[in-house]
Amino acid sequence: MAFPPGTRHPRSISLALGLCVAVLLASGVAAIAFHDPAKAFTVHRALQQYRATSPTSPSSPTSPTSRGTTVPVATADQTTTTNAAPPAPTTTTTIGARGVSGSAPPSTAAVGTTSTTTVVPTGPLPGVYLYRTVGGEGLDLLGGISHTYPSVTTITVTPDGCGVSELWQPLTTRWNEQLLCETATGWDSVSQTTFHEFLGNTDKQAFTCDPGTLFAPSNAVAATTFTGLCAGGGIRSAESSTVVGTQELTVDATPVSALHIHEVDTITGASQGSEVDDWWIRPTDDLIVQEQTTITTKNASVLGQVQYHEAFQLTLMSLTPKQ
């Protein structure tokens, strides 16, 4: 049995339940399938995990390279240096929301050296963001198995290569992680790793997106459309997105201008179905302010077609991440 790529934090998974179902039926204890407890992944655990793996000290409320600053770049050996001033000649790269500007190398540059410009991603500040959450997931297997998500869930943002990694984990048995990279056209979805557990059966799977699969375009205007494709584990998710427009939301009494993007995914392969997402993001750094997601798929199992359903809403509680 297989499930589709799911939400942005991230995409859902491929999960085999056939063996578990067979064991339950053979044991004559299929009734326990109605009770599949799932534990909430708490804010405390999210912070512990972030602090154990993040290169950013909890006392420093910025990424390793601060936004809006000038970053010196060593040029003689093409090596980027962010913690010490490099020898001349240098190229400076000014980092800001949706923009990069560089100064030309000094005219007194030493003969035989070259100059490069390094672009530092300008995504959300690293840390653990809290979201009010309503929703859950379930299967219609053996009369129905469901997991309810806790009232507060977290998205953990960490710098990662060309951009940021965003991990959403509502349960110890459910998480999505996605790598987003900033390009000249916006923020691209590069890859996703997903995890589910039902009835003691776990599965972790990776999905790769085609180059140019946008999550959010730069300089977006209403009615802008864009498409993409992510695939893995015999599942393909063809994405079609539309910029709805800008809407003012309120986060902890602070007004936030948010870009609303509507996305519809057609899922084929090992899973058949659809996913509908609505995102409200802050255009300056693509921080998720609000999200609504619904996924419905049919998947093959030893008992025939089984339907998987997930629906939830996330609402940002504070613009400042916990570190």
∠ Cα 132 136 138 (to 5°): 175
**pLDDT attached to residue 199:** 86
Q: DSSP class of residue 44?
A: H
Per-residue b/e over 212-234, b at no fewer than 16 CB within 10 Å? ebbbbbbebeeeeebebbbbbbe
Amino acid in the structure at residue 234: G
**pLDDT attached to residue 194:** 83
Residue in the structure block whose two tokens are 């557990």: 197
**pLDDT attached to residue 5:** 52
Q: Which two tokens stand for residue 63?
A: 């990424």
Q: Which two tokens stand for residue 148?
A: 């309810």
**pLDDT attached to residue 121:** 53
Which residues, including other chains, have CB under 8 Å from residue 154's CB and lie 6 or more apart? 41, 43, 46, 128, 129, 130, 131, 168, 169
226 CA to centre of own chain: 18
Contact 246, 257 (CB under 8 A): yes
Residue 233 to residues 18, 165, 194: CA-CA distances in angstroms?
17, 21, 11
What is the pLDDT tens value at each position of the chain, 323 positions in all?
A: 455 555 444 333 333 344 344 334 333 444 444 567 889 999 999 999 999 987 654 443 333 333 333 333 333 333 333 333 333 433 333 333 333 333 333 333 333 444 443 444 578 999 999 999 999 999 898 789 999 999 999 999 999 989 999 999 999 999 999 999 999 999 999 998 889 898 888 878 789 999 999 999 988 899 999 999 999 999 999 999 999 999 999 999 999 999 999 999 999 999 899 999 999 999 999 999 999 999 999 988 777 888 999 999 999 999 999 99
Which residues, including other chains, have CB under 8 Å from residue 168's CB and lie 6 or more apart? 7, 8, 9, 10, 153, 154, 155, 175, 176, 177, 314
Q: Which two tokens stand for residue 67?
A: 């936004």
Nearest-angstrom CA–CA distance, 120 and 126: 14
Q: Which two tokens stand for residue 164?
A: 């940021």
**pLDDT attached to residue 18:** 40
Q: Which two tokens stand for residue 93?
A: 């790269």
∠ Cα 56 128 278 (to 5°): 130
Which residues, including other chains, have CB under 8 Å from residue 32's CB and lie 6 or more apart? 24
Nearest-angstrom CA–CA distance, 174 and 196: 5
- Give burial (CB, 10 Å; 0-12/13-18/19+) of 210: middle
Nearest to 173 by CA among 310, 48, 289, 28: 310
